[in-house]
Structure 1
Amino acid sequence: MFGIYLKRELGRRKKAALVIAMGLALGIALVITVNSVSAGMNQAQDKVLKSLYGLGTDMTVTKAQSAPKAGSSQGPSFKFGATSSSSSSQSSDRVNTQGGQALASSLVTKVGSQKGVSTAVGALTLNVTKVDGSFTQGKAKSSTTSGSSGSSQQGGPGGSGTSSTGAPQVQGGGANFNVNSYSVAGIDVTNQTLGPLSTSKITTGKTFTTAQTNAKVAIVSKSYAKTKKYKVGSTFKISSTKFTVIGIATPNSSESTIDVYVPLKQAQTLSDSKNKVTTIYVKATDSKQISAVKTTIQKNISGTTVTTSADLASTVSGSLSTASNLATSVGKWLSIAVLIAAFLVAALLTSSAVSRRVREFGTLKALGWPSRRVTRQVVGESMVNGLIGGGLGIALGLLAAYTVTAISPKLTAQLGSTGGGGGQGGGPGGGQGGPGQQATSNTLEIALNAPVSLTTIALAVGLAVTGGLIAGAMGGWRASRMRPADALRSVS
């Protein structure tokens, strides 16, 4: 009886039911769209942060570069040996540590022993500036001038001179040099799950083995290999040390800030930094306790700077940051406001529909229907309207999310400095800007997607049921208060 009556009443009031369902559908669709876009923003920010951190890295430990002493020069310098040949090729490499002041390798073990730390791995980031070219030696030529003088050497006493030889002048010569700057990361080959190389996968060749802790082998990034025309088996030199390329690394997301990867001991030898690292990559045992682990490390290991992914996220600017803030603040509040309005409209329309059914409900009560049965009937109709609205809202939300993913709008993310001793982009172990210097900005372009999770769908269904219950509760309360006498008074 309940189902038959419900079906008949909804069939008689198709327009009213459709209006209520569409109101709920729009609110639910907006919630799905905002949630899916927010999820896409989070994924995009994760991609940006993964260009600085290794996969699974929760935080990094660095030490800010000390201020230079007064009068000391921080600029690059090169020394070439002079030769007597008229044309001589010269070459020199300048290797500097970057990403912060060097830390003792023993700190890696100390950090790894802190409460809440699962794994700690050290890395040494270098910047190599190679200058090569040639000098061309100039030739000294003297010039001859003419004139007269009262006491010329050539004219004798009282005589007059006709010419004199001036100071020699160098003519010709010069220099032609090329400058090539690239980044090198020394990694712990015994644990490659953390650190700079973990952000990339080896697409050609192979990765390091645990036996190559001090081998003269290297992995180069795909972009750098393309620029230098390197392939597996190619060789190159860093400060007269010859390395063999064993693999080509392709970044998992965005462009990597590292060009060359070598075993940690080799990097320490190149930079004369024995038993030193510039960055300690840390993975926590529980991702929910990262803040507590950060506090523990800073308390027990003084003088270090601990940077978490949350700290780096605050340095991301550009259209990605702007859109993320809009989706998080304005978008969510807007969706909540629209959803509340949809619930209220559904409740008011249901209540209005009940008030127009005075004779119907009054007659049913006169026939013996109790108030709870009338209320159940109204709530049942509202629940069906809510589920219809939920189905339409899910369909509209999925369509909107699919449209965003299909268009894939491009967002830019600019990485700034956290001020903690990071390199390029402000991240520890990053690229071109060193501590004590203004970090070189790193702008990445990210394609926005709008993934819809099962949790979002479940949320939409819950909202549809909630909307139906709210509307049914208000309408049922109104219907339960009607008396059979109301139906008789409404008869004209």
Structure 2
Amino acid sequence: MFGIYLKRELGRRKKAALVVALGLALGIALVITVNSVSAGMTQAQDKVLRSLYGLGTDMTVTKARTAPTANSSQGPRFEFDASSEEDEEQSSDRVMTQGGQALKSSLVTKVAGQKGVAAAVGALTLNVTKVDGSFTQGKAQSDSGQSQGQGGPGGGQGGGGTAAPQVQGGGAAFDVNSYSVAGVDVTNQDLGPLATSEITSGTTFTAAQADAAVAVVSASYAKENSYKAGSTLTISGTKYKVIGIATPDSGESATDVYLPLKQAQTLADAAGQVTTIYVKATDSQQIDTVKATIQKNISGTTVTTSADLAETVSGSLSTASDLATSVGKWLSIAVLAAAFLVAALLTSSAVSRRVREFGTLKALGWPSRRVTRQVVGESMVNGLLGGALGIALGLAAAYTVTAISPKLTAQLGSAGGGGGMGGGPGGGPGRQSAGSTLEIALSAPVSVTTIALAVGLAVAGGLVAGAMGGWRASRMRPADALRSVS
């Protein structure tokens, strides 16, 4: 009886039922869309942090550089042979540590021994500036245009002219190329600069290559300079065999060249030193506690966590994330509340127009609870129908966002201290001080939890509407039906 009457009444009031269902559907669809976009924002931020921070890395330990003294020279110095043969190619490399002040390698062991630390590895960040080119000597010529010999600006006078000869032509043409190098602890590559990259060609380092003249280069740097596995890379006169090409998990690689840590220390004349210590905690929920422990027991260092780094991310990704978190969620709550209120008012209004019907049913012996159950049952069906439509609309919106994949930019500033933290020289202790920009494609993943939330909202909407309408229907008396008869 309940089902038959329910089906007949919903069939008689298709338009009213559709209006209620659509109102709930719009609210539920907006909730799904906002939740899925927020989840996409979180994933995008995780990609940004991971590209700089290192998969599995919970924090980094660095040390701020001391201010240079008045008599110290911090600029690069290059030396060339001016007496070389004309047009002879010359080259000079300047290798400098980058990021924070150098730390003793013994600190890596000390950090690893702190309570709450699962593992710690050191890395050395370098910047190599390569200058290569050639000199061309000028020629001294008299006013008559006849060559009087070769020489520099102080060349002597020719024998045939009264005026001093002038040097014409000559000069120098040099190219400057700067790239980043990371010294990697080859015994633990799951933590540190290489943790965010995958070897897509060749092989990675082995434990036996701790001091071997081998290198892994990033995919972008390899493409730019036509490197491949088996090629030779020369830095400061040392030839390194390229054994692998590393492709980052997301974004662009912040490091161009990876070397075994001992080789990088030799290049920079920094034996037994590192610039960054990458730390993995035993419990991800105790990162702040571990940070405080390291700072307390190892003075003078700066410990930076992923939360600290997240505060330095700006750009359209940060702006969109803030909008999705604040405006989007509050807007979805407001729309959903309005949809619930409209559904309740429409249901209550429908009950008011059914005075004769419910009064007659009560006169025939229907108790108030049965009338209430009938109204609640109709509202629940409307709510479930609205939930189904809302889920369909929400999934369509999320799929559209994923298909379009709008590009968001993340500008990364310094996290303070010794240059911040990161997955390599470009993203953390290297270029972090100057900032860098990553481009991330936004997606809108829909989780099972979001679908369950939508179903719950549909049921809740039906119950709210049914409760108001049922309460009003239960208060009707058979006499009300008789008074409505004309």
CA contact (8 A) 1:217 1:243 kept: yes
Query: Once the two structures are superposed, what CA deviation does each residue of 1:344-387 show, in whole Å capped at 9, x if it has no partner?
Result: 11111111111222222222222222222222221111111110
SS state at 1:236 partner: strand
Structure 2: distance between partners of 1:115 and 1:7: 66
Partner of 1:461: 455
Could you tell me which runs of 5 or more consecutive residues in structure 2 were left unpaired when the two chains were aligned: 139-150
CA contact (8 A) 2:104 2:273 kept: yes
- Is 2:338 the counterpart of 1:324? no
Partner of 1:157: none
**TM-score of the superposed pair, with normalisation by structure 2:** 0.91
CA contact (8 A) 1:20 1:385 kept: yes
Which residue identity does 1:66 align to in structure 2? Answer: T
CA positional deviation for 1:118 = 2.1
Partner of 2:145: none
CA contact (8 A) 2:186 2:205 kept: yes
Query: Once the two structures are superposed, what CA deviation does each residue of 1:128-167 show, in whole Å capped at 9, x if it has no partner?
Result: 1111222334515334799xxxxxxxxxxxxxxxx9886x
- Is 2:425 the counterpart of 1:430? yes
CA positional deviation for 1:298 = 2.0
Partner of 1:215: 212
CA positional deviation for 1:308 = 1.8
Query: Once the two structures are superposed, what CA deviation does each residue of 1:13-41 show, in whole Å capped at 9, x if it has no partner?
Result: 11111111110000000001111111111
Which residue identity does 1:489 align to in structure 2? Answer: R
CA contact (8 A) 1:142 1:169 kept: no
CA contact (8 A) 1:61 1:306 kept: yes
- Is 2:132 the counterpart of 1:135? no
Shift of the 217–401 alpha-carbon distance from structure 1 to 2, 3 Å rule, reads: same
Structure 1: distance between partners of 2:346 and 2:427: 63
Query: Once the two structures are superposed, what CA deviation does each residue of 1:231-254 show, in whole Å capped at 9, x if it has no partner?
Result: 111112212222111111111111
Partner of 1:101: 101
Which residue identity does 2:270 align to in structure 1? Answer: S
Q: Which moved more, 1:450-459 or 1:175-184?
A: 175-184
Structure 2: distance between partners of 1:304 and 1:112: 14
**TM-score of the superposed pair, with normalisation by structure 1:** 0.90
Query: Once the two structures are superposed, what CA deviation does each residue of 1:391-445 show, in whole Å capped at 9, x if it has no partner?
Result: 000000011111111112122222122223227xx7474328978x993332222
Partner of 1:16: 16
Structure 2: distance between partners of 1:13 and 1:393: 21
Structure 1: distance between partners of 2:78 and 2:294: 39
- Is 2:334 the counterpart of 1:337? yes
Partner of 1:158: none
Shift of the 87–33 alpha-carbon distance from structure 1 to 2, 3 Å rule, reads: closer
Structure 2: distance between partners of 1:401 and 1:432: 31
Which residue identity does 2:130 align to in structure 1? Answer: K
- Is 2:416 the counterpart of 1:416? no
- Is 2:371 the counterpart of 1:374? yes
CA contact (8 A) 1:61 1:282 kept: yes
Map 1:50-199 to 2 at 5 A: 50-81=50-81, 83=83, 85-86=85-86, 88-138=88-138, 139-140=151-152, 141-143=155-157, 172-199=169-196
Query: Once the two structures are superposed, what CA deviation does each residue of 1:100-132 show, in whole Å capped at 9, x if it has no partner?
Result: 111111222222222322222211111011112
Structure 1: distance between partners of 2:427 and 2:366: 80
Structure 2: distance between partners of 1:365 and 1:121: 79
Map 1:216-231 to 2 at 5 A: 216-231=213-228
Structure 2: distance between partners of 1:54 and 1:477: 59
CA contact (8 A) 2:412 2:432 kept: no
Which residue identity does 1:92 align to in structure 2? Answer: S
CA positional deviation for 1:99 = 2.0
Structure 1: distance between partners of 2:355 and 2:474: 11
Structure 1: distance between partners of 2:159 and 2:263: 62
Partner of 1:348: 345
Structure 2: distance between partners of 1:41 and 1:291: 24
Structure 2: distance between partners of 1:404 and 1:93: 47
Which residue identity does 1:64 align to in structure 2? Answer: A
CA positional deviation for 1:172 = 4.7
Which residue identity does 2:360 align to in structure 1? Answer: T
Q: Which moved more, 1:291-300 or 1:21-30?
A: 291-300
CA contact (8 A) 2:10 2:17 kept: yes
Identity %: 80
Q: How many equivalent residue pairs?
A: 472
Which residue identity does 1:473 align to in structure 2? Answer: A
Could you tell me which runs of 5 or more consecutive residues in structure 1 were left unpaired when the two chains were aligned: 147-162
Shift of the 84–383 alpha-carbon distance from structure 1 to 2, 3 Å rule, reads: closer
CA positional deviation for 1:288 = 2.6
- Is 2:266 the counterpart of 1:269? yes
CA contact (8 A) 1:145 1:165 kept: no
Which residue identity does 1:400 align to in structure 2? Answer: A
Which residue identity does 2:485 align to in structure 1? Answer: V
Q: Which moved more, 1:360-369 or 1:35-44?
A: 360-369
CA contact (8 A) 2:131 2:176 kept: yes
**Aligned partner (choices 239, 253, 257) of residue 256 of structure 1:** 253
CA contact (8 A) 2:126 2:425 kept: no
Partner of 1:239: 236
